[in-house]
Structure 1
Amino acid sequence: MNEVLNDPLVQSFISSFFAGEINLATGIVWLGIAIGFSILGGAIGGILLAGKDLGYRLAAMIGGLFGPAAIIPATVLGLIVIAIN
């Protein structure tokens, strides 16, 4: 574990990630974080909107699938705009 944390590439990634710099590696990590939150938010929204009608598990699965449909393009576009500036 020490070798991984002391690797210059990992050190560079960690410092650029926490400094808020957007490059390919940090963009992919931010996209992954956004996808995770969108799945969670979509599942919660599905439960709240259609939990009683469809059943809570089915509504959560459908919401979790439809949640990232809007977030992924918006996140990619936002990261591109931030990286350009």
Structure 2
Amino acid sequence: MEELLKTLNTGDFLRSLAAGDLNIATEFVWLIAATILSMIGGAIGGMLLAGKDIGYQFSAMLGALFAPAGVIPAIIIGLAILNLLNSY
């Protein structure tokens, strides 16, 4: 497995991701990871808030769709601020 990571340049990518280096590739990975986590959290929150009223599946779907609407802009602004602070 280690040889595969060294030959495909993914080793450098994984090292920069683990070290906290901010470049366009790592920012996209963090954006996708945060979006997936917000969808999971939104689905759980939707089920807790409105599961009995409108049904658990429908409330989970609505929660998963509406949660990233607030999270994605916050993540982009946060990564931009971190990128600016990293350059100083």
Q: Normalising by structure 1, report the TM-score.
A: 0.91
Over the matched positions of the two proteins, sequence identity in percent amounts to 48
Query: 2-side partners of 1:3 and 1:54: how far apart?
Result: 51
RMSD: 1.4
Q: Which residue of 2 aligns with 1:53?
A: 53
Give unmatched runs, 5+ long, in structure 1: none
Q: Which has the higher contact order (CA 8 A, sep 6+)?
A: 1
Distance, in Å, in 1 between the alignment partners of 2:7 and 2:34 is 27
CA distance in 2, matches of 1:74, 1:4: 35
Segments of 5+ residues of structure 2 without an aligned counterpart are none
Residue 73 (structure 1) shift: 0.5
Aligned to 1:6: 6
Deviation at 1:11, TM superposition (A): 2.1
**Runs of 4+ off more than 3 Å:** 1-4
